[in-house]
A = this chain, B = another copy of it.
């Protein structure tokens, strides 16, 4: 049997409002002072509510994001992190890039001893994608 011919051209014309990476609210991120400087604390922040847009298909991606870090002198302020993560909502960005971008923005903000970002992206076509990126401060064990 040949592939069924269905006119799906109407979907071609749809363009949701895909934004550029420059709308990511990196400057909204705030820190609060870590009061136990010199002592290693592992802070882990999970969320099941991350979404961005696939630049290839124009359709939204959804991920669980888990951020874990050991602070040096700064903790991330949670409400600012919420706004920061929300600002990816309509941005067209690959899953691997989004995960790495979050890592890099938080490294710049926090200068942590250690940080890991896990992005567990919902399956498309039956294939899921988990992206794990890590950063370790030089000279930290």
Q: How many residues of A contact B (CB 8 A)?
A: 71
Q: Please, could you name 22 A-B residue pairs with CB atoms under 8 Å apart, sorted by A? A: A2-B15, A3-B18, A3-B92, A4-B55, A8-B79, A11-B83, A14-B28, A16-B86, A16-B87, A16-B89, A41-B96, A44-B129, A44-B130, A44-B131, A46-B127, A47-B123, A49-B62, A49-B126, A59-B125, A78-B125, A85-B127, A124-B125
Q: Which residues of B contact A11 (CB under 8 A)?
A: 28, 79, 83
Asked if A134 is at the interface (CB within 8 A of a chain B CB), the reply is yes
A12 → B minimal CB distance (Å): 10
Q: Are B49 and A122 in contact (CB under 8 A)?
A: yes
Number of copies: 10
Q: Which residues of B contact A99 (CB under 8 A)?
A: 41
Q: Are A58 and B3 also in contact (CB < 8 A) when A11-B83, A129-B44 are? A: yes
Q: Are A60 and B86 in contact (CB under 8 A)?
A: yes
Q: Which residues of B contact A4 (CB under 8 A)?
A: 55-56, 92
Q: Which residues of B contact A141 (CB under 8 A)?
A: none
Q: Are B14 and A25 in contact (CB under 8 A)?
A: yes
Q: Which residues of B contact A6 (CB under 8 A)?
A: 56
